[in-house]
Structure 1
C-alpha cells in the first residue's frame, strides 16, 4: 500500500489529528500541576502528598507504555489511540467530581494507564503510514502538540480555577478534550500499511534482556530519570513558593509562567542540530549546565529574575531531553524500540518518584532545598555522560582496528 503523501486531503487530516492527539494527552496529564497548592489546602495534606496527583499518573504511565505498543500490533494503531484519547478525556472529566483525595488519586492513576496508548503508538503510526521524506515534519507536528498541550493545560487550569474553581476547571478541560477526541477519530485516516501480527513474548523478552546487558546503554537510559526528575520537581513546587509572601500570585499568573515552555520548543530543535555537529556527549553537558544555571538563578528573590531562571532551566531541559532520547535510539542498534521504551519508562519514573520525593525538601528546607535536590540530580548526570562517551569512543576505535588489514 502507498504511503500518505504530502499535499493530499489525508495528509492534512492526519496532520490535524496527530496534533490533537499530542495536545489532549499532555494537556490532561498536567492539569493538576498548578493545582497542587489548592489540593494541599482543601484536603489538608502535605505538598509531597499533593504532588501524587501527577506522580501517580506518570508512574503508571511509565509501565503502561511497555504494553500499549504490543497491544496495537494485534488491535490496530488507530483503534488503540482512539480508545486512549476517549478514555483519557472521560477520566479527566470525572476527576472534577472526586469526593475525596483518595478518589482523586484513583482517577488520576487510571488516567495514567489509559493515556499510554498515544505516546507509545503515535510515532509508530507516523513511521508506518507516511512517506519517509516527510517524516520530520509530521513528527514535529505531533511533538509540537505535546508541547503546546502541556503548556495550555497548565495555563487553562490556572485561568479557569481563578474564574470558577478547580473542579470546574478540570470539568471544562475534560469536556474540551472529549470534543477534540471526536475530531481525532473522524480525521485520522484508517491505517493503510498496518499488518496485524501476534506479539512474540519470547523475542520481546530477549530484546529487553540485550538492552539490560548493555551497561553503557542502561546508563544513557538513566538520563531520562535524572532530567525529567529535576524538571518536574522544579515545576511541582514553584507554585507553592509563588503563592506565599512576598509574591502571593494568583493561579492565573502562576499558570502564565508555563509560557516558558515555548523556549523549550525552540531549544529542542536548536540543541539537536548542534549535537549533530559538535557531538551528543558535549552538547548534553552544555544543556545540563544551562539547566543548573537556570535553577540557581531561581534562588534570587526578585520575581523577574526568578522567572528568567525558570525560562533558562526550561531551555536547557528540552535541549538535553531531545539529545538524550536521540542518543539512546542511535546507540541501541537492533534494540532501538526496546531502548526507547525503557528511556520513556525511566523518564516518567523520574517524574513520578523524584517529583514526589522533592516534597520532602520543600517541607523541610523550602526552595533552597528544592534547588539542592535538583542540583544533586543534575550532578549525577555528568559521570553518566562521561562514561557513555568514553565507551562510545572505545567501541568506534575497536571497530576501526578490526577493519584495518594486518
Structure 2
C-alpha cells in the first residue's frame, strides 16, 4: 500500500470520528437533550477507542494490518448510512459506540503499518505525515459537517463519507504487504508486558492528559461559542474550527523543532508549558483573544502529538502494533473522559471553572514528561 493512499484513507476515517462535534448543539435541540448528554455522542465513540486498541494491537502483531484496515473501513461506511436513519438519540449513541469499536482497528492498523514499514528518520517523517492527515481529517470533518448542515442537511455529509470509505477500502491490495513479525509465538499478555517500561508509560500518561484537554475544549466549543459569544449558526461554528488547521502546519514543523531541541523530552516539556498558557488565555470572554488562544492551543497539541507518537515507537521494546495500540488506547482514554467530565463542570460552573479543570490536567501531563526526563537522563539524556 502506498503512503498517499493510506493518508487519504486516514482523512476519511477521521471524518467519521469528528463530524458530529460541531453538530452537537443541533443534536441537543433536535432530540431535546442537555449539552453534556449531547456530548456523550463523542464519549460513546471514544470509550471503546480507549479500551480496544490494545486488543487490536495484539491481533495486529499476528495478522496483516491492511486486511484489517480494509474490513474496518467497509464497516465504518455502512455504519455512517445507519447513523442517518436511526430515529432516536439512544440509537445514535449505539451506532457511535459501534463506530468506536471499529475505529481503533483502523487507526492501529495504519500506525502499525507505518511502524513496520519504516525506520529512523523515515519513521519520524511518515508518522508526522500520518498525524498531519489526522489533523486534516479532523478539521474538514468538522467544517464540512457544519457546512453541509447549513447548506443542505446534516445527513448529506454522511452519504459522502460512506461512499468514499467503501470505495477506498475496496482499492486496498492487502496481499502486497507481509507482516515481518517473528514473535507470533508470544501470548497476548506477553505482548502487553513489553509496554511496562517506565518512560513509555509516562509518555502514554502525558498523551492521556493532552487529549483530555483537547477533546474537552473541542467538544464543548459549540456551547461556549453559543453561550459566551452568541454564535449559533452551524456554519460560523464550523469556521471557528479553522484554528485547528494551524495544527497541521505546527505538526509538520515538529521534526524541525526536534532538531533544534536538546531532546524530544525538552521539546515536549516546552510545548506542554505553552499548552498550559494557551488554556489560561482561553478563559477570556473577548472573542478575538479567545480565537488566538484557540489557534495556539491547537498548534501546541499537535506538536506534542507529532513528537510523542514517534518517540514511543523508538523507546518501546514491544512490537509496533502493540506499542501503537497502547498509544491509541491512552490517547482516546483521555478523549473519552475529556468529552464528558469537563462538560459537567461547564454545565454547572461555567467557562472559567471549565478551563481551570483543563489547566490542572495539562500540568499533570507536563509533570509526567519532566519526571520521565529526570528519571532517565543519567543513561539516555531523558
Q: Is the 8 A contact 1:70 1:199 kept in 2?
A: no
Deviation at 1:223, TM superposition (A): 0.8
Deviation sequence 1:84-125 (CA, Å, 0-9, x none): 111112112211222111111000000111222221111333
- Distance in 2 between residues matched to 1:376 and 1:256, nearest whole Å: 28
- Equivalent residue in structure 2 for 1:329, among 313, 333, 350: 313
Q: What secondary structure sits across from 2:19 in the alignment?
A: coil
Q: Which residue of 2 aligns with 1:283?
A: 267
Higher gyration radius (CA): 1
- Equivalent residue in structure 1 for 2:52, among 51, 57, 64: 64
- Which structure exhibits the higher relative contact order, with contacts defined as CA atoms closer than 8 Å and separated by 6 or more residues? 2
Instruction: Name the TM-score, length of structure 1 as normaliser.
Output: 0.85
Q: What secondary structure sits across from 1:301 in the alignment?
A: coil
Q: Which residue of 2 aligns with 1:76?
A: 64
Q: Is the 8 A contact 1:82 1:181 kept in 2?
A: no
Q: 1:134 to 1:146 in 2, by over 3 A?
A: same
Q: What secondary structure sits across from 1:208 in the alignment?
A: helix
Matches within 5 A, 1:5-404: 14-72=2-60, 76-126=64-114, 139-165=127-153, 169=154, 171-195=155-179, 200=184, 202-212=186-196, 214-244=197-227, 246-278=229-261, 279-334=263-318, 337-396=321-380
Deviation sequence 1:41-80 (CA, Å, 0-9, x none): 3333222221110111111123222233444566633332
User: Which stretch of structure 1 is more off in the superposition, 89-98 or 73-82?
Assistant: 73-82
Q: 1:128 to 1:248 in 2, by over 3 A?
A: closer
Q: 1:135 to 1:208 in 2, by over 3 A?
A: closer
Deviation at 1:247, TM superposition (A): 2.4
Q: What secondary structure sits across from 1:211 in the alignment?
A: coil
Deviation at 1:151, TM superposition (A): 0.7
Q: What secondary structure sits across from 2:211 in the alignment?
A: helix
User: Which stretch of structure 1 is more off in the superposition, 82-91 or 334-343?
Assistant: 334-343
- Distance in 2 between residues matched to 1:257 and 1:45, nearest whole Å: 24
- Distance in 2 between residues matched to 1:111 and 1:355, nearest whole Å: 16
Q: Is the 8 A contact 1:22 1:149 kept in 2?
A: yes
Deviation sequence 1:221-278 (CA, Å, 0-9, x none): 1011100000111111111021236423311011112222221112123234323442
User: Structure 2: which 5+ runs fail to align?
Assistant: none
- Distance in 2 between residues matched to 1:225 and 1:84, nearest whole Å: 24
Q: Is the 8 A contact 1:297 1:306 kept in 2?
A: yes
Q: 1:301 to 1:196 in 2, by over 3 A?
A: closer
User: Structure 1: which 5+ runs fail to align?
Assistant: 1-10, 399-406
User: Which stretch of structure 1 is more off in the superposition, 79-88 or 140-149?
Assistant: 140-149
Q: 1:127 to 1:247 in 2, by over 3 A?
A: same
- Distance in 2 between residues matched to 1:381 and 1:361, nearest whole Å: 20
Deviation sequence 1:333-381 (CA, Å, 0-9, x none): 3565433322221110000012200111111111112111110111112
Cα RMSD (Å) of the superposition? 2.7
Q: Is the 8 A contact 2:57 2:322 kept in 1?
A: no
User: Which stretch of structure 1 is more off in the superposition, 230-239 or 199-208?
Assistant: 199-208
Deviation at 1:126, TM superposition (A): 4.0
- Distance in 1 between residues matched to 2:359 and 2:265, nearest whole Å: 19
- Distance in 1 between residues matched to 2:181 and 2:323, nearest whole Å: 21
- Distance in 2 between residues matched to 1:197 and 1:379, nearest whole Å: 38
- Distance in 2 between residues matched to 1:391 and 1:337, nearest whole Å: 26
- Distance in 1 between residues matched to 2:179 and 2:143, nearest whole Å: 40
